[in-house]
Structure 1
Amino acid sequence: MLYLRNLTYHPTACPNAILKSVNLDLAPQQLGLIIGPSGSGKSTMLEILSGLAAPSSGGMFWREQELVAEQMQQLAGLVFQFPERHFCGGTILEELRLGHPEIGSDRISEALAEVGLDHLSLSASPHDLSGGQQRRLALAVQLIRQPHLLLLDEPTAGLDWSIRQQLVRLLAKLKQNWTLLIVTHDAGDLLAIADRCWSIQNGHLESIDPTTLQERTKEPQPAA
């Protein structure tokens, strides 16, 4: 289980804290959704949880053990917004093995099967894949590391409706084996698969009921 306790992030160059006494609980094999506008602090949350930044105060815990930034890097796998812009490998195989040349073919096959890309040639270029396939490959890049926690920044951004639906179904499947935490400015289709939801405004995190939020966002039915 992931716990955040009174987590604060206040870089010295900023007049105000970006995250303010954040508390969060997320159980294993749950999907958590943090919803907030640009500048609210949600992407900073992912940077801290992935170990790219260290909190100014407060604690991060996994299964009762408090972790520092270096340990969070081992625990979590981060998929950036528009991850396809960060691809560096010339082939799918190179992309999956980037930084991990020791990874064997069995784990590569398992990761690609998890995201539904096991039919592709490993010699194909990541840049030749469709938008939906590129997002799936970005997930496979993290899954191959076998993290306990998957962190996703706006995973459905820039995708058309049908591809978004496919990705949502994939994320619902992945939470059978992983804990997922997603940040987004527009919950949309993700609400249907969320177990926990929070809103974030000006660095303050507040728990909200995903069912209630889903009811609020339903489109009104036309009058008979």
Structure 2
Amino acid sequence: MLRLEQLTYHPPATPAAIVSGVSLELAPQQLGVIYGPSGSGKSTLLELMAGFATPSTGQIRWRDQTLEPEALRQLAGLVFQFPERHFCGHTILEELRLGHPELDRAQIDQALQSVGLDHLDLTTLPHSLSGGQQRRLALAVQLIRKPYLLLLDEPTAGLDWSMRQQIISLLQQLKQNWTLLVVSHDADELAHLADCCWHLNQGHLTLQKQTNPQPMATEANWE
């Protein structure tokens, strides 16, 4: 179970808190959607959960553990809105092996198969891929790390209708094995997948939809 308890982020340089008193719960193998306008604090909230920023007050908990940023970076995998800006490898193989030189071919093939890219040549340049394929590769990079929580920032933004539907179908598949939290400016296209839905505006979070949490009995204990 992911829990945010009265999370606030107020950098000294900003006149008001970017995230203010945010609390939420998301059960294992559920998909949560946070939607709101640009500038509402969505991306900042994901960065806090990914351990890329430290909250001013409040706690982030996974099961019974309160996690600091270093532990969150191990727990969560964040896929940025424009992942191609963060690609460093010259080929798909290099991109997947960055930080993981020990990966064997079977592990690489499994990650690519999980996101529907197993048909691609591993020598392909990441920046030569289509927008939808780049989002899928960014997901594969995170899956290689085997996180417990996948965080996605606007995963369908800028894609055409066909590619958006492919990404939505992929999220539905990933939900079978991972806990997912997605932020978007529009919740409509993900509403049918969401177990929980929140509206974020000016840093304040409001619950819009929640199903009964049903943690899977096979959930692994994260330590």
Report the TM-score, using the length of structure 2 for normalisation.
0.92
SS in 2 for 1:209: strand
Kept in 2: contact 1:199–1:207 (CA 8 A): yes
Higher alpha-carbon Rg: 1
C-alpha displacement of 1:188? 3.0
- Residue type of the partner of 1:39? G
Moved more, 121-130 or 148-157: 121-130
Question: Structure 1, unaligned stretches of length 5 or more?
Answer: 212-224
- Give CA deviations for 1:137-171 in whole Å, capped at 9, x if unaligned: 01000000000000000000010001100110000
SS in 1 for 2:191: helix
Greater helix share, structure number: 1
Please name the residue that 1:97 is paired with: 97
Please name the residue that 2:152 is paired with: 152
RMSD: 1.2
Please name the residue that 1:59 is paired with: 59
Please name the residue that 1:106 is paired with: 106
C-alpha displacement of 1:209? 2.0
- Give CA deviations for 1:59-88 in whole Å, capped at 9, x if unaligned: 110011110011000000000001122211
Alpha-carbon distance in 2 for matches of 1:83, 1:132: 11
C-alpha displacement of 1:119? 1.1
C-alpha displacement of 1:43? 0.6
C-alpha displacement of 1:210? 7.1
- The percentage of aligned residue pairs carrying the same residue is 67
- Residue type of the partner of 2:69? A
Please name the residue that 1:183 is paired with: 183
- Residue type of the partner of 1:185? H
Alpha-carbon distance in 1 for matches of 2:159, 2:180: 20
C-alpha displacement of 1:121? 1.1
C-alpha displacement of 1:15? 1.6
Alpha-carbon distance in 1 for matches of 2:197, 2:147: 22
Kept in 2: contact 1:26–1:32 (CA 8 A): yes
Alpha-carbon distance in 2 for matches of 1:210, 1:78: 23
- Residue type of the partner of 1:29? Q
Report the TM-score, using the length of structure 1 for normalisation.
0.91
Alpha-carbon distance in 1 for matches of 2:197, 2:4: 15
Alpha-carbon distance in 2 for matches of 1:19, 1:9: 5
Alpha-carbon distance in 1 for matches of 2:201, 2:133: 32
Alpha-carbon distance in 2 for matches of 1:194, 1:209: 8
Alpha-carbon distance in 2 for matches of 1:55, 1:73: 14
Alpha-carbon distance in 1 for matches of 2:210, 2:147: 25
Moved more, 202-211 or 170-179: 202-211
* 1:38 and 2:38 aligned: yes
- Residue type of the partner of 1:146? K
Please name the residue that 2:20 is paired with: 20
Moved more, 5-14 or 72-81: 5-14
SS in 2 for 1:39: coil
Alpha-carbon distance in 2 for matches of 1:32, 1:82: 20
C-alpha displacement of 1:104? 2.2
Moved more, 59-68 or 182-191: 182-191
Please name the residue that 1:122 is paired with: 122
Moved more, 40-49 or 103-112: 103-112
Kept in 2: contact 1:191–1:210 (CA 8 A): no
SS in 2 for 1:33: strand
Give the paired residue count.
211
Kept in 2: contact 1:77–1:151 (CA 8 A): yes
C-alpha displacement of 1:190? 1.2
Alpha-carbon distance in 2 for matches of 1:134, 1:47: 20
SS in 1 for 2:32: strand
- Give CA deviations for 1:85-143 in whole Å, capped at 9, x if unaligned: 22111100001111222222221111101001111111111122222111110100000
